[in-house]
Amino acid sequence: MQDISRAKSAELYEKSKTYFPGGVNSPVRAFKSVYGTPLFIQKGDGPYIWDADGNQFIDFCASWGPLILGHNNAKIREKVTEVMQNGMSFGAPTALENELAELIIKNNRFVEKIRFTSSGTEAVMSAIRLARGYTGRNKIIKFEGCYHGHSDSLLVKAGSGLVTFGETSSAGVPKAFADETIVIGLNDKQAVTEAFAQFKDDVAAVIIEGIPANNGLLLQDKEYVEFLSETCTANGALLIFDEVITGFRVGFEGAAAYYGITPDIVTYGKIIGGGLPVGMYGASNQIMAHISPDGGVYQAGTLSGNPVAMAAGIAALSILSQPNFYEELNAKAQAFVNDLKAYIADKGYELKIFTVGSIFWFAFTNKDIKTAEDIDPASMEKFKIMHRELLNRGIYFGPSGYEVGFVSAAHTSVELDKAKQAIFEALDIVFA
Ligand code: PLP
């Protein structure tokens, strides 16, 4: 166990609360779902981060997913530094945008034309507008337990009943927006069929996370995802795969390739920017022809395609597109998870680890979990204890039991062995 002082983080947090709501610039960072107060991070290198008090942690949060190569990757840093010598933003096209686009389009079967944005939220919000503009329809179907960023149409949760208009999940979202979003449960074919029966000619799109990974890891059957794709096609609606987490994570071509289905529109973010703010949406030439200035769907961005962010993306994706990158990463992550599972089975703990590629999630239950409803909120108490014990042992997980963990290419057997040992100890305390 580390003898941890968190005095500097605590002091910084007191100050940040005077500047920012809750002291943070994104809510989950505020440690409201776990013990303690946020650690203020000073630096990261490879699999490690250090907080303001100099404590070192093996990091499995990875900045919420982007850092598949670990922190401060030398190739990304060098490319960014080189490009920055020429200035940081022009608001005009650069060759770097072409270079990143080529890397993506040449290695991805699911997009013929793309548009860069500065965040995942923007990418998804724009994809929804594109689907509406393309189909001339208004409604979208989304799934409870999928997060797609913080745009108005998507901050909507299920009402009561199988197929309902959504209810806003944030103050400040007009009910009229929620009325255009139908929210149904995952893994429920009947709900999809009913939604289309009720709103047939007005459904522009069904949007789903490639593999839902924002409310636990809700692995869906291939057959169900195929059903969604077929149902969209049969009803003239588009299938949007939100791959902001899964894109370039479960493989270079994301969850679409994992399931072997072809979505109509795909959104990416996180990894695509190598740690800098980049999002992207893409589709066939035919669909993308509807985007301004070629078509009537308006979408823009002062810093879209920013050269420094493009440089980071180019360096990152150049590494990810090398042969065997994902085979090696995923094998390493799966071996790590299998060792954890073996320990849990041996001890008979009430805990399941759901996993795909280099993503994993601890669910304090023995049940199978496929939908948001399957998760018992009371089980999060156990995660809180685990989180506290892991921090005390130098292991950093995202501060919420609904968040997944990520193994990166920078984790070696040294860090993974240490992390396993710490997780074993933490679980022994959780289940003591
Ligand atoms: N879509 C998914 C699947 C996400 O996981 C996220 C963020 O976590 C977003 C969209 C929003 O991306 P951003 O936070 O970059 O706006």
Per-chain mean pLDDT for the chain: 96
Domain finish residue from 298, 320, 342: 320
**Residue range of the domain that includes 196:** 74-320
Q: How confident is the model at residue 160 (pLDDT cuts 50, 70, 90)?
A: low
CA 265 to chain centre: 17
| Residue of the CA atom closest to atom 9 of ligand 1 | 149
Question: Do 227 and 311 belong to one domain?
Answer: yes
Confidence (pLDDT) at 161: 65
| CA–CA distance, 253 with 241 (Å, rounded to integer) | 12
The answer to whether position 179 is within a domain reads yes
Q: What is the DSSP letter of 201?
A: G
The more confidently predicted of residues 166 and 279 is 279
Question: Do 148 and 280 belong to one domain?
Answer: yes
The one catalytic residue in 270, 332, 370, 382 is 270
Q: How far, in Å, from the CA of 148 to the mean position of ligand 1?
A: 5
Domain count within the chain: 2
Question: Do 157 and 296 belong to one domain?
Answer: yes
Question: Do 173 and 314 belong to one domain?
Answer: yes
For the chain, the straight-line distance linking the first and the last C-alpha, in angstroms and rounded, comes to 18
Give the mean model confidence (pLDDT) for residues 128-155: 96
Whether 94 lines ligand 1, by a CB cut-off of 6 Å, is no
Query: 3-state class of 280 per DSSP?
Result: strand
Confidence (pLDDT) at 157: 86
Q: How far, in Å, from the CA of 151 to the mean position of ligand 1?
A: 10
What is the Cα Rg of the chain in Å?
21
Query: To which residue do tokens 């909507």 refer?
Result: 156
Please confirm, yes or no, whether 402 is among the known catalytic residues: no
State which of 244, 249, 402 you would mutate to test the pocket of ligand 1, scoring each by most atoms of that ligand within 8 A of its C-beta.
244
Question: Do 123 and 195 belong to one domain?
Answer: yes
**CATH number of the domain enclosing 104:** 3.40.640.10
| Residue of the CA atom closest to atom 8 of ligand 1 | 149
Residue 283 pLDDT exceeds 60: yes
Q: What is the DSSP letter of 209?
A: E
Q: Among 271, 249, 266, 269, which residue's Cα sits nearest to residue 258? A: 249
| CA–CA distance, 390 with 55 (Å, rounded to integer) | 13
Question: Do 206 and 227 belong to one domain?
Answer: yes
137 with 203: CB under 8 angstroms? yes
Residue 234 pLDDT exceeds 60: yes
What ligand 1 atom has the least distance to the C-alpha of 210? Answer: 3
Confidence (pLDDT) at 1: 61
ipTM > 0.95 for the complex: yes
Q: How far, in Å, from the CA of 152 to the mean position of ligand 1?
A: 14
Q: What share of the chain is helix, strand, coil (3-state, %, to 5)?
A: 45, 20, 40
What is the bridge-based pairing of β-strands 279-283 and 113-117? antiparallel
Question: Do 179 and 328 belong to one domain?
Answer: no
319 with 75: CB under 8 angstroms? yes
Question: Do 126 and 159 belong to one domain?
Answer: yes
Please confirm, yes or no, whether 139 is among the known catalytic residues: no
Whether 124 lines ligand 1, by a CB cut-off of 6 Å, is yes
Counting residues of the chain whose pLDDT is more than 70, the rounded percentage is 98
Non-local CB neighbours of 308 within 8 Å, separated by 6+ positions: 80, 83, 84, 88, 89, 276
Whether 394 lines ligand 1, by a CB cut-off of 6 Å, is no
- Secondary structure (DSSP) of 12-59: HHHHHHHHSGGGSSSGGGG-TTSSS-PPPEEEEEBTEEEETT--EEEE
- The neighbour count for residue 168, using CB atoms within 10 Å, is 18
The answer to whether position 78 is within a domain reads yes
Q: How confident is the model at residue 164 (pLDDT cuts 50, 70, 90)?
A: low
The one catalytic residue in 59, 188, 242, 264 is 242
Q: How confident is the model at residue 168 (pLDDT cuts 50, 70, 90)?
A: confident
Cis peptide before 212 (omega within 30 of 0): no
Please confirm, yes or no, whether 147 is among the known catalytic residues: yes
Question: Do 315 and 376 belong to one domain?
Answer: no
Confidence (pLDDT) at 210: 95
pLDDT in tens, 12-40: 999 999 999 999 999 999 999 999 999 99
pLDDT in tens, 100-111: 999 999 999 999
Q: How far, in Å, from the CA of 382 to the mean position of ligand 1?
A: 26
The answer to whether position 67 is within a domain reads no
**CATH number of the domain enclosing 413:** 3.90.1150.10
Query: To which residue do tokens 């208004």 refer?
Result: 138
266 with 241: CB under 8 angstroms? yes
Q: What is the DSSP letter of 221?
A: P
| Residue of the CA atom closest to atom 11 of ligand 1 | 149
Whether 280 lines ligand 1, by a CB cut-off of 6 Å, is no
pLDDT in tens, 219-232: 999 999 999 999 99
Question: Do 272 and 287 belong to one domain?
Answer: yes
| CA–CA distance, 429 with 412 (Å, rounded to integer) | 26
pLDDT in tens, 332-374: 999 999 999 999 999 999 999 999 999 999 999 999 999 999 9
Question: Do 163 and 255 belong to one domain?
Answer: yes
Q: How confident is the model at residue 158 (pLDDT cuts 50, 70, 90)?
A: confident
pLDDT in tens, 44-65: 999 999 999 999 999 999 999 9
The one catalytic residue in 13, 48, 134, 147 is 147
